[in-house]
Amino acid sequence: MSSRLSARAILGLVVVTLAGACSKPDADALLKKANAYAQQSRLPEAIIEYRRALQADPRRGDIRQKLAEAYLRSHDQNSALKEYVRAADLLPNDPAAQLQAGSILLLAGAFEDAKARANRVIKLDPKSADGVILLGNALAGLKDMDGAIAEYQEAIALNPTQDSTYTNLGVIQFVRGQRADAEATFRKAIEIGPRSVRARMALANFLWSSGRAPEAERTLKDAVGLDPANVAANSALGTFYVATGRANEAEPYFQAIAKNSNSLSAIVLADYYIAARRLDDAERILRNLTAKGDKDAA
């Protein structure tokens, strides 16, 4: 009797063990865990969990999008590009996924591939102004300026309140030497987007390139005034002062960049101090970064 009970107990234990061994990890549970890590900015742990979730279900495009985002936040653009493209391949009928993939392909200089993604977006959603803008940017990258202008004009027709479209059109007009048209377009972008930092920076770049430095300075100050913490605007104004021989006026703007928790932002301030021959200040920043052991500060 006891031997039968023992045999049954052993058999039950084997069955439970085998069941546990055969059960697959749950992709949704791993995704939830990864998302929690990402929200805490614990990106290495998030990436591990996203990859585990994909091992559980490799066909999940939504998980690949999250993994791509984590790679991008970790400054691993190559891995982010691969995952955004894989996600878009798994989600062929999702315009947002195609737009994400196309946008990062554009940044990588893969203009033909970005063009293909843009055309896919437009096929899925013919009224997508973002898809048309992406197509225009891809055509501009391919040096098809006439095609780019046509797409930007169509995007304006689809969404006349999107200031970035006017900014992109202005850049093409400027490149083609149509300075009066470009200036009018840049100013129209500001009219459409009065709170747009990007629109003001585009106009400032045009003014500076046209030899109108005082106007460029005022426009950059307006951009910083709209968003005092904006890294790009502070960097542009700081660079303007250094380039125009007024390096002592640049310090507050590079300090504003360094307030960002990203160690790369602190390196920008250190670079400014090196350029200004304030080597003790630069060394202090670089030693602090070294002590933190941050891989981004290498």
* pLDDT one digit per residue (tens) for the chain, 298 residues: 555 545 555 555 555 444 444 556 789 999 999 999 999 989 999 999 999 999 999 999 999 999 999 998 888 889 999 999 999 999 999 999 999 999 999 989 999 999 999 999 999 999 899 999 999 999 999 999 899 989 999 999 999 988 989 999 999 999 888 999 999 999 999 999 999 999 999 999 999 999 999 999 999 999 999 999 898 899 899 999 988 989 889 999 999 888 875 677 788 888 889 988 899 999 998 888 888 766 666 5
Contact 182, 191 (CB under 8 A): no
Domain of 40? 30-91
Exposure of 238 by Cβ count < 10 A (0-12 exposed, 13-18 middle, 19+ buried)? buried
Domain boundary among 42, 62, 91: 91
Would 172 be classed as within a structural domain? no
The pLDDT of residue 257 is 86
Count CA atoms closer than 13 A to 75's CA, side-chain side. 7
As for how many domains the chain has, the answer is 2
Domain boundary among 61, 91, 121: 91
The pLDDT of residue 7 is 55
The pLDDT of residue 190 is 95
Would 151 be classed as within a structural domain? no
What per-residue string of b and e applies to 46-58 under the rule 16 or more CB within 10 Å gives b? bbbbbbbbbebee
Structure tokens, 40: 């805490």
The pLDDT of residue 275 is 85
Would 77 be classed as within a structural domain? yes
CATH number for the domain harbouring residue 275: 1.25.40
Would 209 be classed as within a structural domain? no
Which amino acid, one-letter code, is at 212?
Answer: R
Domain boundary among 91, 119, 134: 91
Contact 251, 274 (CB under 8 A): no
Would 270 be classed as within a structural domain? yes
The pLDDT of residue 19 is 47
Would 249 be classed as within a structural domain? yes
The pLDDT of residue 296 is 60
**Cα dist from 167 to 3, 147, 191, 201, whole Å:** 84, 16, 11, 10
CATH number for the domain harbouring residue 38: 1.25.40.10
